[in-house]
A and B are shown apart, each in its own frame.
Chain A
């Protein structure tokens, strides 16, 4: 036993030296990013991390308003052409100059038919270089939301892409090099020093950044810690300085700890459940969710307030519509969740002859806050009204393939309307009938022509009032038809160690560490 005591004492001394150096932010995240290539996955989290490394032509400021970034000014020309004047004197991390060629190559890459991100630039037609610092972007028609879209389209260096055979989107099947997946070269406030997937990604400050640095960080060490208990332990013991997903059930304990600060709020992301609209369920049985009454019955069987109180610990905001209040296009008249009525639900199910109806609910265990618990509660509530749901839960990487192939009968879904910050986003990408550029996330295969008409009309309406009115009408159809059942806006909870002085948290739940300051 003496040996062990000596060992522990020695360790204690060793540990005094392991406290992170003053300006290194150790970020313990809930999951890893998918790739260093922001075009390779439509993942908001990955893109928000890469915002530290790459930049777009415009960006959102701390009030969530659009301001110039790599572009300094713009004007709308006739024939649906937008002309952008580019910022001069900006250098990529490898030293290359930022010019119009880079913009053209990047936009071509992101809008390529094989690009997973092409749905984020729906109205794009082509880009042309006018001179070294001017670019013309041609759209397919009048489209009011181009700037919103451009905030998340990162600009790559044309020469770098060419040198590494990466001008086309990464495509393993076609043997197109995945160089940007593991290497990064942007214009942003931080440079990628190293990346080990599922282990650690290290960023260092870009001393040559064109903008004035409001942060005082030298390094960011990003480590995914999937286990919630471990993440909390790491916070409490001071091994990490920041997490963007502090588990809801541990917030009281974290708040009580003297060396941890908790920042809570409601984010823009709305969690909802969607249905399969095909003829058959995934197991081949006839699909009863095509009936509106069936979907309504399911809606009545769910006690949203109980889920908020028990599963979300009172931190979520129950909603009756699929967009958050802060999003332009939110209509308070639609924000009326159904009143919990299990007897009525059971009666409706009996009427439809759906007693004992077996189907699968597909959820991920590492995506939304407490998703597994919400889904478990859902199974319990639906069983009680006479249905026989089964839960299919796995990491999102596994579920994603099945979801996009339409294999789910009922599925969990979340949408924040990013980066557009307009209800057009969810209408276009989720509720419009699936086609080339629309309905990329229409996993259930629904199709409502009247709604499509409204959405298409809104896409070319430059008058904001009129456009938002059309979008509200479309959202009303979503609600009346119960295409998706909205649950709540997710709580967001950040936790920081006492070494972090200021960190900016906006309702889009994105880390913005170019604004973070640590104690000296």
Chain B
């Protein structure tokens, strides 16, 4: 009998892992993953099949305004979910809007991770004054409610930008605002973990071997700190989308010329009582589906990776 000595490839290992087992046996996780994939893919492939690019003012026809969804009387092809008061197709609007919401969410989480992990690693590894200073900064940011930081940064940076950059820069400003309020928790977790790992023998061995600090931090310590970060990042992705939606709803987020889901809800809210419920309902549904699927996945991930519950 021959013994297969080759170690299994990544994919095989993944499929055999506890994680995968837990995933496939949790209906809500599978459902959430499928839903999220559908939402993301449909949003990013929208230019291929959407009836209209709702961001291009030249494509908006005012005489197509206020058409109800196609299954109601007065509905018209290709406006499956109806149009708003500017003639914007709702389906196209929520697809393009989701794209913006998702992009801002991903960008916020990625940048927050980069800054947070970087700061946490450096603080935990070097300790002493550096650690103190960095953590103080974090403490101070944590003393201000996140929504407040987001609103202030958003409002102030926009004031400081010259007028022609304001609309284009709106997305970047939002990302900045959410990142500034979000990086601290990663930094804290990573710092705590790093401080623990730093004292372990494998790190001390690497230091003796004169492995550069950067390499120790990223290749050795970081992988061991990833688990709680991953969970937090997934849940924060949902929070980032909600924060962006809230800021846009309050009027300091994405402008109507590049509407995100929050902006669409704000615009649609005005017409709630005039019978044109489709203008607000569909963006709301889309937003909820998006965030619910992200949160379900995050919940599952947290339970799956939680050593106490295994």
Cα–Cα distance between A377 and B66 once the two chains are bound (Å): 14
* Closest Cβ–Cβ distance, residue B248 to chain A (whole Å): 14
Q: Is the CB of A376 within 8 A of B273?
A: no
Q: What 0/1 pattern do residues 374 to 398 of A give for CB contact below 8 A with B? A: 0011011101100000111000000
Does A229 count as interface, using CB distance less than 8 angstroms? yes
Query: Which residues of the partner chain B approach A381 to less than 8 Å between Cβ atoms?
Result: 62
- Residue ID in chain B nearest A373 by CB atoms: B85
> In the complex the two chains form, is B274's CB within 8 Å of A377's CB?
no
Known: A310-B62, A373-B86. A253 touches B163 (CB 8 A): no
A390 touching B86, Cβ below 8 Å = no
Q: Nearest residue in B to A282 (C-beta to C-beta)?
A: B163
Contact mask for chain A residues 127-159; partner B; CB cutoff 8 A; 1 contact, 0 none? 000000000000000000000000000000000
- CB pair B63 A360 closer than 8 Å: no
Please tell me which one of the listed residues B57, B66, B164 contacts residue A310 in the complex, with CB atoms under 8 A apart.
B66
A249 at the interface (CB under 8 A from B): yes
Residue of B57, B164, B270 near A380 (CB, 8 A) is B57
A310 touching B274 in the complex, CB below 8 Å, given contacts A282-B163, A377-B86, A380-B57: no
Interface residues of A in 265-309 (CB under 8 A from B): 282-283, 303, 306-307
Question: Residue A376 contacts which of B63, B164, B256 (CB distance < 8 angstroms)?
Answer: B256
Q: Is the CB of A229 within 8 A of B272?
A: yes
CB of A449 closer than 8 Å to a CB of B = no
**B111-156 contacts to A (CB < 8 Å):** none
Q: In the complex, are the beta carbons of A310 and B85 less than 8 A apart?
A: yes
Q: Shortest beta-carbon distance, B217 to chain A, in Å? A: 46
Report yes or no: B58 in contact with A380, Cβ–Cβ below 8 A. yes
Whether the pair B275, A253 counts as a contact (CB closer than 8 A) is yes
Question: A250 — which chain B residues lie within 8 A by C-beta?
Answer: 273-274
Interface digits, B58-92 against A, CB 8 Å rule (1 contact, 0 not)? 10101101100000000000000000011100000
Chain B min CB distance to A495 (Å):
12
Asked if B264 CB lies within 8 Å of chain A CBs, one says no
Q: Contacts A311-B85, A380-B60, A380-B62 known; A390 to B164 CB distance under 8 Å?
A: yes
Asked if A392 and B163 sit within 8 Å, CB to CB, the answer is yes
Bound CA–CA A93/B276 (angstroms): 48
Q: Is the interface of B mostly helix, strand, loop or mixed?
A: loop
A414 in the interface, Cβ–Cβ < 8 Å? Answer: no
Chain B interface size range: 20 to 34
- Report how far A392 CA is from B164 CA in the complex, Å: 9
A311: which B residues are within 8 A, CB to CB?
Answer: 62, 65, 85
Cβ of B274: which chain A residues have Cβ within 8 Å of it?
A: 232, 247, 249-250, 252-253
Chain A nearest Cβ from B167, distance in angstroms: 7
Q: Is A456 an interface residue (CB 8 A)?
A: no
A384 in contact with B275 (CB, 8 Å): no
Instruction: Provide the A387-417 mask, 1 if CB < 8 A to any CB of B, else 0.
Output: 0001110000000000000000000000000
B62 contacts A360, CB within 8 Å? no
A306 to B276, CA, bound (A): 19
Contact B58 A233 (CB under 8 A): no
Establish whether residues A310 and B272, one from each chain, have CB atoms under 8 Å apart when the complex forms. no
Tell me the minimal C-beta distance from A488 to chain B in angstroms. 15
A345-370 at interface with B (beta carbon < 8 Å): 358, 360
Say yes or no: is A228 at the interface (Cβ < 8 Å to chain B). yes
Could you tell me which residues of chain A, from 243 to 271, have a CB within 8 Å of some CB in chain B? 247, 249-250, 252-253
Q: Name the residue of chain A whose CB is nearest to the CB of B272.
A: A229
Question: Is there contact, CB below 8 Å, between B273 and A233?
Answer: yes
A236 within 8 A of B: yes
Whether B271 is near chain A, meaning CB under 8 Å from some CB there, is: yes
Q: Are A236 and B273 in contact (CB under 8 A)?
A: yes
Query: Which residue of chain A has its CB nearest to the CB of B65?
Result: A310
The distance in angstroms between the C-alpha atoms of A314 and B245, with both chains bound, is 33
In this assembly, does B45 line the interface, its C-beta being within 8 Å of a C-beta of chain A?
A: no
The answer to whether A249 and B58 touch across the interface, beta carbons within 8 angstroms, is: no
Using CB atoms, name the residue of chain A closest to B267: A372
A282: which B residues are within 8 A, CB to CB?
A: 163
Smallest Cβ distance from B286 to chain A, in angstroms?
20
In the bound complex, how far is the Cα of B163 from the Cα of A358, in angstroms?
12
User: Would A249 and B62 be within 8 Å (CB), given that A228-B270, A377-B86 are in contact?
Assistant: no
Q: Which residues of chain A come closer than 8 Å to B270, judged between CB atoms?
A: 227-229, 247, 249
Interface residue? B257 (CB, 8 A): yes
B28 within 8 Å of A (CB atoms) = no
- B278 to chain A: closest CB distance in Å? 14
- B114 to A: closest C-beta gap in Å: 33
Which residues of the other chain, A, contact B164 by a CB distance below 8 angstroms?
Answer: 283, 358, 360, 390
B163 and A360: CB pair below 8 A?
yes
| Known pairs A227-B269, A227-B270, A392-B163 / 14 extra A-B pairs, C-beta < 8 Å | A229-B270, A229-B272, A249-B276, A252-B274, A306-B62, A310-B62, A310-B63, A311-B85, A380-B60, A380-B86, A390-B167, A390-B257, A391-B256, A391-B257
Name 23 A/B residue pairs within 8 A (Cβ), A-sorted. Answer: A229-B269, A229-B273, A232-B273, A232-B274, A247-B274, A252-B274, A253-B273, A283-B163, A283-B164, A306-B62, A306-B63, A307-B62, A310-B63, A360-B164, A376-B57, A376-B86, A379-B257, A380-B86, A383-B56, A383-B57, A383-B58, A384-B57, A390-B257
Closest 10 CB pairs of A and B: A249-B274, A380-B57, A383-B57, A250-B274, A383-B58, A232-B273, A380-B60, A310-B65, A384-B58, A310-B62
